[in-house]
Structure 1
Amino acid sequence: MFAITLLAICIFMGASGQICWKYGMSNMDRINDVNSLLQPETIQNILTNKYILLGLVLYACTFFLWLSAMSTLDVSFMYPMLSLAYILTALLAFYFLGEQISTLRWSGIILVVLGCILIMKS
């Protein structure tokens, strides 16, 4: 049960990290090509953005929790469960970022979740 709890925390932290990254990048100039990505100012802005850094911290914590859960659970069970983050990320994006999510996109997310349910039953 402990490993399942760790897996759930990993899913939540991973989705939260994505929202932090998107929020941080939304407050910066658009990056339209490799040259604009590699500009020293762009790199500095990315590396000093508190939301991007928070997302990195969340991902770093997730890494260690993931390894802990991996010591107990099968990776063939764990990795597909990460796709549950799709629905959580979509919900967080809707509420915190104001993203509009189409019916077609929700349908795809639901299909992924149904696949996870099938894997959990195995």
Structure 2
Amino acid sequence: LLKAGTNAVGQFEFSAGNIVPVGMKLALEPHIMGGMACYVVSLVVWIMGLSRVEVSIAYPMLSLGYVLNAVAAWYLFGEAVSVTRLAGIGIIIIGVYIVARS
């Protein structure tokens, strides 16, 4: 969502006189608002997870964010997924599975 929001706003230049107008434009972009809402939900879920699971189990689960990010980038933005990236995704999934089973 954040990427879609910055794409919707378009290119901009960061300068001292431009920071407030660009900041407002970004802050009011619906995609950016949605992305920030996702961050808030993610934080709440993370805190709830930490209250129920050991940190040594919960923290490796964050690695799944890399997997979800790669899938979303491919699906939403048509980004290429190379064999190397797929191998890395596979390693992450296997690692998280091993940690979850321990």
Tell me the TM-score normalized by structure 2. 0.83
Gaps of 5+ in 2: none
Measured against aligned partners, the alpha-carbon deviations of 1:6-50 in whole angstroms (never above 9, x if no partner) come to xxxxxxxxxxxxxx1111112233467x648x6222211211111
Give the counterpart of 1:93 among 73, 78, 96.
73
Partner of 2:8: 27
Q: Which amino acid aligns with 2:69?
A: T
**Counterpart mapping for 1:14-93 below 5 A:** 20-30=1-11, 35=15, 39-93=19-73
Q: How many matched pairs?
A: 101
- Matched residue SS, 1:24: helix
Give how far 1:65 is off.
Answer: 2.1
Distance 1:31 1:87 in 2: 30
After superposition, the CA RMSD in angstroms is: 2.0
Give 4+ residue runs of structure 1 displaced > 4 Å after superposition: none
Residue number in structure 1 paired with 2:93: 113
CA separation in 2, counterparts of 1:45 and 1:61? 23
Gaps of 5+ in 1: 1-19
Which structure's CA Rg is the greater one? Answer: 2
Structure number with greater CO (CA < 8 Å, separation at least 6) is 1
- 1:71 is paired with a residue of what secondary structure? helix
CA distance in 1, matches of 2:38, 2:2: 11
* Percent identity between the two aligned chains: 28
